[in-house]
Structure 1
Amino acid sequence: MKLVVFSTTDRSLSEAREVTQMFEEGLRAFHIKKSGFERHEMEEYLKVIPPKYHRYIILHSNHKLRKSFKLGGLHLSRTHRKKKYNSWWKMFKLRKFSRKLKFTRTFSKLSSLTKNKTKYDYVFLGPIYDSISKLGHSGNFGNRSLKRYISTSKSPVYALGGITPDKLEECKELGFSGVCVLGYIWNNEHQTPIEAFREVKNKLKELEH
């Protein structure tokens, strides 16, 4: 399974330095989800991360910075998808001229996952378990339903919400192609973000064998 790390939603630039260390230790997919960032704030954040790692970054907002920083992809949020034609046309044009560019989105309902007709590089489904970073966001999917819907998805499905090392084996059994970790990395009271990242990464390696 692939590993994705989400940013926090706060304005800390020190986080970007920790993310750089994760890149140095093998992270290959980092999503920046900071809807409150103005363009100049996002630029400052990206400048902390060495350019050689920019191709592994997916932006959730300030999409126009993709080109100047040569980033790896764009996440289409609910706001972007409200303009259905525009978001589809944007994907079509960018994929034509930037074939390596990735597009992702998030689903919170199994029925929406099945009805989706657009092909994404991968999609998130959640919350699968009780969220660590968002109080009140509880997992409410049955394992049998998850297996069935994941197997029929047009895009690889990554588990989102409450992902911890002890949940990884079950995620693999359910058919997820990857996992997204947020709270366990940034809200961990017992480990630094780097230590938590290493633990998740090493557990995923164990499951490969």
Structure 2
Amino acid sequence: MIIISNPTAVANEIKLIHSLFENGMELFHIRKPDFSEEEMKVFVTAIGLEYRNRLVLHSYHHLAEEFGIKRLHFSSTNRPDNFQKTEGFSISTSTHSIEEFNALSEDFDYAFLSPVFKSISKENYEPNVNWSTEIEKRIHFKTKLIGLGGIQSENIHQAMEIGFNNVALLGSIWNSNNPIENFKSCQQIVLSF
């Protein structure tokens, strides 16, 4: 299961990130769109060295080498047209329709498809399609399909049943009074598949 950082700072954020890793978080996507390069360096440096292999950079990709990070994410707007994977790197991207997902290069290890449900963290961001029927149009199986948007313990089972390979959490972690407990309950559901 993947966790995406809150776009803005959160109280005790680094401590929470470490706790999520200690409780089995597989991958942590660092999406901080308003961070300067210096702020990004400080943030990454604060995360324990032992977790660097599970960090995914959404911006300042050139910092990957400096920090020994081997995972990069491209939004749908900054994804290169003729994408070619760099040896030794895991690459992911974001998509917003099954057609966009199906058109991806096979070089992407996984792609987010959103919004699956009504977003917890973004106002007025909800699906305008029935994902149960849309996912039947999937023809691209080399890239893993990751459900994002409104994912929480109450609907993970549904997302996995309709055909997502895994899920990513954002609002259900960072907008929660108990992010670690929320993570654990979501994790149990994913592991049961």
Length-normalised TM-score, structure 2 = 0.92
CA distance in structure 1 between the partners assigned to 2:134 and 2:141 by the alignment? 11
Q: Give the Cα separation in 2 of the matches to 1:149 and 1:73.
A: 28
1:22 to 20, 23, 29: 20
Q: Deviations over 1:113-148 (max 9, x none)?
A: 222234311001010100000001012221442331
Task: Write the distance in 2 (CA, Å) between the matches of 1:15 and 1:150.
Answer: 36
The 8 Å contact of residues 18 and 47 in structure 2, kept in 1 or not, is answered as yes
Deviation of 1:112 after TM superposition, in Å, equals 1.3
Q: 1:173 aligns with which of 161, 164, 168?
A: 161
Structure 2 distance, partners of 1:183, 1:43, is: 24
Larger mean CA deviation between 111-120 and 54-63 belongs to: 111-120
| Whole-angstrom CA distance in 1 between matches of 2:172 and 2:74 | 24
Whether the aligned pair in 1 keeps the contact of 2:96 and 2:113 (CA below 8 Å) is: yes
Return closer, same or farther for 1:167/1:63 CA change in 2, 3 Å cut-off.
same
- 1:155 corresponds to which letter in structure 2? T
Instruction: Report how far residue 149 of structure 1 moved.
Output: 2.9
Identity percentage of aligned residues: 27
Secondary structure of the residue aligned to 2:116 is coil
Aligned CA RMSD, in angstroms, stands at 1.8
Match of 2:39 in 1: 41
The residue that corresponds to 1:84 in the other structure is 81
What's the secondary structure of 1:134's corresponding residue? coil
Partner of 1:110: 98
Q: Which runs of 5+ in 2 are unaligned?
A: none
With over 3 angstroms needed to count, the CA separation of the structure-2 counterparts of 1:168 and 1:151, relative to structure 1, is farther
Corresponding pairs, count: 193
In structure 1, the gaps of 5 or more residues are none
Q: Secondary structure at the match of 1:105?
A: strand
Q: Name whichever of 142-151 and 63-72 sits farther off.
A: 142-151
The one-letter amino acid paired with 2:178 is: T
If each structure's helix is expressed as a fraction of its own residues, which one has the higher value? 1
Per the TM alignment, residue 6 of structure 1 is displaced from its structure 2 partner at its CA by 0.4
Q: TM-score, normalised by structure 1?
A: 0.85
